[in-house]
Amino acid sequence: MRHDRRVVRRRPHHASAGRHRGVPEPPRTGQGTGGAAAPTAAKAEAKKSAADLRAAQKDLGRLERKLDQLHAKEEKLHASLLEAATDPAKLMELNAELKGVRGEIEDVEARWLETSELLE
């Protein structure tokens, strides 16, 4: 019975370390000017919910599929350009279409990059 009372009364050693002897406590982490940036970054990470991350992953997959389609279309246009080497009107038409596809590829790649940064 005496043993039980001792266990109940006893506090952990770290709870009172140095307080009763006049020894100053060590500074806690995250206090002061040095730790101000870390909690802000941690809060930003915590704000990303699971639903937001899942939506970003789905967008990333959709954008990757779109890029694959656009690259395939670009390859077909290059093949068509080779076939129409003797027809200037056809070349101009295919070249304009190729420029449009390249612009769309750049847009999709920029959105892919933004989305991938959200997942980091």
Per-residue pLDDT of the chain (120 residues; tens, 9 = 90+): 455 555 445 545 445 544 445 545 555 555 555 545 555 655 555 567 888 889 999 999 999 999 999 999 999 999 999 999 899 999 999 999 999 999 999 999 999 999 998 888
* Cα(118)–Cα(114) distance, integer angstroms: 7
What distance separates the 2 farthest-apart alpha carbons in the chain?
A: 104
* Cα(28)–Cα(79) distance, integer angstroms: 66
**Termini Cα distance of the chain:** 56
Among 84, 108, 106, residue whose Cα is nearest residue 95: 84
**Single pTM value for the model:** 0.58
Residue 18's contacts (CB-CB under 8 Å, 6 or more residues apart) are: 24, 25
* Cα(114)–Cα(109) distance, integer angstroms: 9
Sign of the C-alpha dihedral computed for residues 81, 83, 87 and 93 taken in this order: negative
Q: How far is CA 110 from the centre of its chain?
A: 14
Q: Which residue has the tokens 């959709």?
A: 62
Sign of the C-alpha dihedral computed for residues 79, 85, 87 and 91 taken in this order: positive
